[in-house]
């Protein structure tokens, strides 16, 4: 009885009694949700265009942030460092497509997936070897990102908005809008969607698969860099981020592997869900720290009912 | 010439379906077993036994577990580390509760706890496959890691949050704890691995194993031919986690001596997945080869690279940097193997064997 009340009654009483706490949790959930969406977006881009489940997306986020901080540490001005980092990501995209994706074309999906785990390993160790494994501060002010915070008084308490979080949400929205425009309005974008629909048909009308793949991997690199900057501005650039990057997987399961809106909504669901769950149910009943697995368990339960995700393509298949 | 079955006639079904139909193969296996049991423990140093051979065998066992799931049944898993943890914690709690029981019994029994957990997290595999399964097994990984920290009962309310292996005996010999000699620990691990490998090879060539492979190759066709996916997949999860659980118990009790949650984190799951890929999906020999390469290669690089760089170039390299270099080499090897030889080292070995059979003729 006591447990039932703890699950079904007390959390809602707390929510009602302390609205500021609730709003704060909602806001934090929204912020981490946008960043999960950003990471998941990189996966979706590559999966859509090549059917490759790119496990390295998470580490690409860390790697991009590391390269940026590393280049800036050499004395390069911040914005030029961003451009140079984009160059490095383009180089990475070309290398991966040339040396991994192209030789593995037509292999089973699982082999391609495992090759991206190999890339993950190379990027983790390579990044540590070049830049060192210790956490570094992100160059937030140099990039012109706001710091500081504002308060908002609600129901006798304060809700605190970090300015960087607001900027993160805006930048993420701009990036997603930009990608949507790119996909829908440009010739390259149309070619990309053609490749996503049918490799062979796209080839037969003269679309170069290799070029499209490089573009897609580069786009994923840009998304990774953005996610890396925004995430590292909140904490630090460190390899601990890769655990957070793994959170993109449940986001994908929720949203569907091929859907960009799915990645966004899935990210927000996971973001809100894990913050609220940890605050109202996880900490009082289970002793806290539930954020490490909540998203995965949600995805697991969700999979049992709707394996194709909220917006994914429905495969007609029964096993 | 060296490897020819000429003159070895099979006069009964029994010899025809033997595990090693060629006499030379049988000879090799016995040769390795004798070397393993009689030569290495007497001539290997404490370091060689404790830091190279024991972990190598433990990882081999874990890779056999993962290979049963990934290589033979086609279900990918990233939860190996956590399943090993379940075995280790189960063994720890059991031996604290019943200190007088032979520790070897508990090492095997702890596998059953792991199997139960594995079946539970394998349930989604009935509706989903491929990448989706990565997510559910990662759910197992992160949830179990959390449970190992948050449930103090599991580590007996120790202040450090770690499990310390107590001294335990089997058949009157001290097997675990600080007093146990490296030779004894090595022999126990080797015996367990040999027995369980033999068991796995029989299981795989039997009815259950062939059902697994049918599910892997084409699940719908398998179902039409009367394989029940429910039983085939869940039995694969159960057997796989059983092996991982036993490997985990061996790892903590006979190798590390004490363990924290970090010993079972997802990096471990990756490492074991790499052993399976590099060694060869769907091959028991591959598990041994993969574990040997992935475990022993970094040890060699860590020992040899820094002095080599010192001697040949003006640069110096720290041992942690050498570790990273070996990580990069392993990552590159994974990609290269997937491109050149997706079936791994085991396939290379069988190509060599084929060449030896027809030598000196090319075909």
Query: How high is the ipTM of this complex?
Result: 0.81
A vs B, Cβ pairs < 8 A, gives 128
Tens of pLDDT, residues B350-359: 888 888 877 7
Neighboring chain B residues of A53 at a CB cutoff of 8 Å: 131, 134
Q: Does any CB of chain B come closer than 8 Å to the CB of residue A201? A: no
Are A276 and A298 in contact by the 8 Å Cβ rule? The answer is no
- Contact call for A117 and B130, based on CB within 8 A: no
The whole-number average pLDDT for the span B57-67 is 92
A273 Cα to chain B: minimum distance (Å): 16
Interface mutation target, options B150, B333, B338, chain A, most CBs of A under 10 Å: B338
Output B363 or B287, whichever has higher pLDDT: B287
Interface mutation target, options B121, B324, B330, chain A, most CBs of A under 10 Å: B324
Tens of pLDDT, residues B298-313: 888 887 777 777 777 7
Neighboring chain A residues of B270 at a CB cutoff of 8 Å: 117, 121
3-class SS string, chain B: CCCCCCCCCCCCHHHHCCCCCCHHHHHHHHHHHHHHHHHHHHHCCHHHHHHHHHHHHHHHHHHHHHHHHHHHCCCCCCCHHHHHHHHHHHHHHHHHHCCCCCHHHHHHHHHHHHHHHHHHHHHHHHCCCCHHHHHHHHHHHHHHHHHHHHCCCCCCCCCCCCEECCCEEECCEEEECCCCCHHHHHHHHHHHHHHHHHHHHHHHHCHHHHHHHHHHHCHHHHHHCCCCHHHHHHHHHHHHHHHHHHHHHHHHHHHHCEECHHHHCHHHHHHHHHHHHHHCCCCHHHHHHHHHHHHHHHHHHHHHHHHHHHHHCCCCCCHHHHHHHHHHHHHHHHHHHHHHCCCHHHHHHHHHHHHHHHCCCCC
Output B180 or A297, whichever has higher pLDDT: A297
The answer to whether residue B64 scores a pLDDT higher than 90 is yes
B28 Cα to chain A: minimum distance (Å): 32
The whole-number average pLDDT for the span B155-161 is 74
pLDDT score of B59: 92
Output B72 or A183, whichever has higher pLDDT: B72
Q: Does any CB of chain B come closer than 8 Å to the CB of residue A129? A: yes
pLDDT score of A319: 43
B59 Cα to chain A: minimum distance (Å): 19
- Contact call for B135 and A110, based on CB within 8 A: no
- Contact call for A293 and B143, based on CB within 8 A: yes
Provide the token pair at B205: 């060539």
- Contact call for B139 and A119, based on CB within 8 A: no
- Contact call for A121 and B143, based on CB within 8 A: no
Instruction: Give residue B241's pLDDT band: very low, low, confident or very high (50, 70, 90).
Output: very high
pLDDT tens-place values along chain A, 319 residues long: 677 777 777 777 776 667 677 788 888 888 888 888 888 888 888 887 777 888 888 888 888 988 888 888 888 888 888 899 999 999 999 999 888 888 887 777 778 888 888 898 898 888 888 887 777 777 777 776 777 777 777 666 777 777 888 888 888 888 888 888 887 788 888 888 787 777 778 888 888 888 888 888 898 899 888 888 888 887 777 777 777 777 888 888 887 777 778 888 888 888 888 888 887 776 767 776 777 788 888 888 887 777 676 776 666 554 4
The answer to whether residue B239 scores a pLDDT higher than 90 is yes
pLDDT score of A179: 83
pLDDT score of A86: 92
Q: Does any CB of chain B come closer than 8 Å to the CB of residue A178? A: no
Neighboring chain B residues of A299 at a CB cutoff of 8 Å: 135-136, 139
Output A220 or B178, whichever has higher pLDDT: A220
Interface of A with B in 81-100 (CB under 8 A): 99-100
The answer to whether residue B202 scores a pLDDT higher than 70 is yes
pLDDT score of A107: 77
Q: Does any CB of chain B come closer than 8 Å to the CB of residue A105? A: no
Q: Over chain B, what is the mean pLDDT?
A: 84
pLDDT score of A313: 63
The whole-number average pLDDT for the span B333-344 is 85
- Contact call for B131 and A303, based on CB within 8 A: no
Rg (CA), chain A: 21
* Chain B, nearest residue to A286 by Cα: B150
Q: Does any CB of chain B come closer than 8 Å to the CB of residue A5? A: no
* Chain B, nearest residue to A296 by Cα: B139
B326 Cα to chain A: minimum distance (Å): 9
Tens of pLDDT, residues B16-61: 777 777 777 788 888 888 888 888 888 878 778 878 888 899 999 9
Interface mutation target, options A47, A53, A251, A293, chain B, most CBs of B under 10 Å: A293
Of A119, A257, A297, Cβ closest to residue B143:
A297
The answer to whether residue B146 scores a pLDDT higher than 60 is yes
pLDDT score of B150: 81
Are A253 and B135 in contact by the 8 Å Cβ rule? The answer is yes
Neighboring chain A residues of B136 at a CB cutoff of 8 Å: 296, 299-300, 303
Output B242 or B296, whichever has higher pLDDT: B242
The whole-number average pLDDT for the span B182-194 is 88
């Amino acid at each position: 009885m006591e447990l039932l009340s703890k699950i079904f009654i007390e959390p809602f009483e707390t929510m009602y009694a302390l609205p500021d706490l609730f709003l704060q949790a909602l806001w934090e959930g929204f912020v981490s949700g946008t960043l999960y969406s950003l990471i998941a977006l990189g996966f979706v881009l590559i999966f859509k265009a090549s059917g490759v489940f790119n496990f390295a997306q998470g580490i690409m986020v860390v790697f991009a942030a590391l390269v940026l901080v590393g280049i800036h540490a050499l004395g390069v001005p911040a914005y030029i460092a961003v451009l140079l980092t984009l160059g490095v990501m383009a180089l990475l995209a070309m290398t991966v497509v040339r040396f991994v994706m192209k030789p593995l074309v037509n292999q089973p999906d699982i082999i391609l997936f495992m090759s991206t785990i190999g890339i993950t390993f190379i990027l983790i160790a390579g990044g540590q070897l070049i830049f060192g494994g210790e956490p570094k501060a992100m160059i937030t002010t140099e990039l012109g990102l706001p710091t500081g915070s504002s308060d908002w008084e609600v129901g006798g308490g304060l809700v605190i908005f970090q300015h960087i979080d607001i900027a993160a949400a805006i930048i993420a929205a701009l990036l997603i809008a930009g990608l949507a425009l790119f996909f829908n309005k440009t010739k390259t974008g149309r070619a990309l969607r053609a490749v996503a629909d049918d490799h062979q048909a796209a080839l037969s009308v003269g679309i170069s698969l290799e070029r499209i793949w490089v573009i897609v991997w580069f786009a994923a690199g840009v998304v990774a860099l953005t996610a890396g900057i925004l995430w590292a501005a909140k904490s630090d650039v460190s390899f601990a981020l890769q655990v957070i990057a793994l959170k993109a997987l449940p986001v994908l399961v929720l949203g569907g592997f091929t859907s960009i809106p799915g990645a966004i909504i899935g990210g927000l669901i996971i973001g809100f869900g894990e913050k609220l769950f940890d605050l109202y149910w996880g900490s009082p009943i289970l002793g806290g720290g539930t954020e490490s697995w909540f998203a995965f368990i949600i995805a697991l339960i969700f999979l049992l009912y709707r394996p194709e995700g909220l917006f994914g393509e429905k495969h007609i298949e029964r096993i | 010439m060296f490897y020819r079955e000429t003159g070895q006639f099979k006069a009964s079904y029994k010899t025809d379906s033997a595990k090693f139909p060629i006499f030379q193969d049988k000879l090799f296996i016995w040769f390795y077993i004798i070397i393993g049991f009689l030569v290495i423990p007497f001539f290997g140093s404490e370091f060689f036994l404790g830091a190279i051979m024991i972990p190598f065998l433990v990882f081999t066992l874990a890779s056999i577990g993962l290979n049963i799931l990934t290589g033979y049944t086609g279900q990918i898993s990233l939860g190996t580390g956590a399943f090993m943890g379940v075995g280790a914690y189960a063994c720890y709690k059991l031996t604290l509760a019943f200190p007088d029981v032979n520790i070897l019994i508990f090492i095997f029994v702890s596998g059953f706890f792991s199997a139960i957990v594995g079946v539970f997290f394998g349930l989604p595999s009935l509706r989903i496959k491929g990448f989706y399964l990565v997510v559910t097994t990662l759910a197992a990984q992160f949830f179990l890691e959390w449970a190992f920290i948050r449930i103090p009962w599991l580590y007996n309310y120790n202040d450090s949050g770690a499990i310390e292996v107590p001294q335990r005996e089997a058949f009157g010999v001290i097997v675990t704890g600080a007093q146990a000699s490296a030779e004894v620990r090595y022999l126990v691990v080797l015996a367990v691995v040999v027995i369980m490998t033999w068991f796995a090879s029989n299981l795989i060539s039997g009815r259950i194993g062939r059902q697994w492979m049918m599910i892997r190759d084409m699940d719908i066709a398998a179902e039409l031919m009367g394989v029940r996916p429910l039983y085939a997949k869940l039995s694969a999860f159960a057997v796989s986690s059983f092996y991982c659980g036993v490997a985990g118990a061996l790892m903590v009790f006979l190798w590390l001596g004490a363990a924290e949650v970090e010993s079972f984190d997802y990096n471990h799951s990756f490492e074991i997945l790499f052993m399976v890929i590099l060694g060869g999906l769907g091959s028991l020999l591959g598990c041994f080869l993969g574990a040997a390469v992935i475990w022993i290669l970094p040890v060699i690089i860590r020992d040899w690279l820094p002095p080599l760089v010192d001697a040949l170039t003006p640069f110096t390299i720290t041992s942690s940097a050498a570790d990273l270099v070996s990580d990069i080499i392993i990552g590159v090897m994974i990609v290269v193997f997937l491109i050149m030889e997706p079936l791994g080292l085991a396939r290379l070995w069988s190509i060599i064997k084929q060449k030896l059979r027809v030598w000196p003729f090319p075909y």
